[in-house]
Amino acid sequence: MDKKIFDLIEAERKRQNEGLELIPSENAVSKEVLDAMGSVLTNKYSEGYPNFEGLDGDDDEVLASTTAGHRYYGGQQNTDKVERLAIARARRLFHADHANVQPHSGAQANNAVYNAWLQPGDTVLGMNLGHGGHLTHGSPVTQSAKIYNFIAYGTNPETGDLDYDELERLAKEHQPKIILVGYSAFMKVPDFDRVAKIGKEIPGCLLMADMAHVAGLIAGGVHPNPLEHGFHVMTTTTHKTLRGPRGGLILSMGKVSNPLRRPEHTLENIPTLIDRSVFPGTQGGPLEHVIAAKAVAFYEALQPEFHDYAKKIVENAKTLADALKERGFKLIGDGTENHLILINVIESYGIDGKKFEIALDKIGLTLNANSIPNDTRKPFEPSGVRLGTPAITTRGLGKKEMIKIADWMQKTAEICAGKRDEAELKKMREEVRKLALKFPLPSDK
């Protein structure tokens, strides 16, 4: 009936298949994940939670439970099982005591944790947005920054790593109620033990990791898991390296109890404080069709092949980073330890990040303009671009193709800098399309 929307979806499918997605926070999901999202589960309201008993076993044991949950509407016999499977699989994947699979997004997940643990005016120590942190970690334009007192630590400009000395100094000075490690443009592996040691010396300090970018690397066993290094809570989105539907997830360590009863405000009770904060604290009805798709993605991430995928993401990122450096690109932190690369294009080729992003879009390479640490330029025309390998690795690209991408990026930068003929963009567009079509989206295979 609605041909206009149908055509737009088809056009987007074509755009994705004919180009290469280098935005490090994007991916391409399986047909099974897509199908779960497009299911009749979207018709159902299910405020509340399923029962949390017997979630330690395998899927069959989890499905065997017949105890009713704590829901506010009838007809939950199937949704309870869907959500129990999602919770059980998430706990298995991240070795967590509890999982809340209801957050609609990463921002919702973070806000729910703040709301669970903080009172208005309490202090949170988080990473500076300008150094690679995230909007929801205290940017003044966000709702949470109006409620809580955010203090920012930064990165060391020499190494690109977190400035642990500054973090420790600020923690001692401000005695935060939450220390938050998380980022959307950071290429190193954080020293969680060091941060946990700092946090444990502050009474009532919750250690929170927002691992949205690297959750798939953690699930695949190629990145440390903060929950195994003394952190109490980990939030994430489910659609980045984790390769699930667009959504959020909160993992926590502690005692799990009935969410209908208000528990004491202790770190041990953080799982239940979070459940009550997600619903009814900050959200209404959960999206059970998305929760089903999360469960499918967790199932996929629990398979041995997902480890190979995660390993390949990092290998591809390192190959691409080296190839870019050989072609004159200056990388923040001089390379990468994860899936993400941040280039200072002003210093490399004298062009701003937006100009480079737009030119690359013309040849079918999609990435995003991004500020670099201590950037003096405006956020809409920053000095850098950010790119990564999760989506292209899903599609099967490897070493040879990383070199090709670096070549195209070099030529495009030279065109932007006026050193090559713009007509070459058209030729490169055809080359990118030809290569991309050899690696279709997994849902289109």
Task: Give per-residue burial for 7-40: e unless 16+ CB within 10 Å, then b.
Answer: eeeeeeeeebbebbbbbbbbbbbbeebbebbeee
Active site residue 15: no
Is residue 240 part of the annotated active site? The answer reads yes
Q: Is 410 in the site for ligand DSN (CB under 6 A)?
A: no
SS3 331: strand
User: Is the Cβ of residue 27 or residue 46 nearer to ligand DSN in the bound state?
Assistant: 27
Partnered with residue 369 across adjacent β-strands are: 385
25 scored as a contact of ligand DSN (CB under 6 A): yes
Q: Are 386 and 9 in contact (CB under 8 A)?
A: no
Active site residue 188: no
Which member of 45, 161, 322, 375 is catalytic?
45
Q: Scanning residues 165 to 194, which ones bind ligand DSN (CB under 6 A)?
A: 184
Residue of 79, 155, 235, 237 marked catalytic: 237
Total chain residues near ligand DSN (CB under 6 A): 4
Q: Which of 18, 32, 35, 47 is catalytic?
A: 47
Query: Shortest Cβ distance from residue 136 to ligand DSN (Å)?
Result: 8
Question: Is 210 part of the annotated catalytic residue set?
Answer: yes
Ramachandran sector of residue 296 (left: φ over 0; alpha: ψ -120 to 50; beta: rest): alpha
In what helix (H) or strand (E) does residue 250 lie, and over which residues does it extend? Answer: strand 248-252
Per CB under 6 A, contacts with ligand DSN among 70-129 are 106
Is residue 243 annotated as part of the catalytic site, yes or no? no
Select 239 or 318, whichever has its Cβ closest to ligand DSN: 239
Say which of 240, 294, 318, 354 is annotated catalytic.
240
Instruction: Give dist(CA 117, CA 266) in Å, integer.
Output: 9
The question of whether 237 is a catalytic residue gets the answer yes
Distance of CA 120 to the CA centre of its chain: 27
As measured in angstroms, the least distance from the Cβ of 299 to ligand DSN is 24
- Which DSSP helix (H) or strand (E) runs through 217? helix 215-219
Catalytic residue of the set 44, 194, 246, 362: 246
Radius of gyration, CA atoms only, the chain: 22
Strand locations in 50-174, DSSP E?
70-71, 98-100, 123-127, 149-153
389 binds ligand DSN (CB under 6 A): no
Question: Using CB under 6 A as the criterion, which residues of the chain lie in contact with ligand DSN when the complex forms?
Answer: 25, 106, 134, 184
Show which residues are catalytic: 45, 47, 210, 237, 240, 246
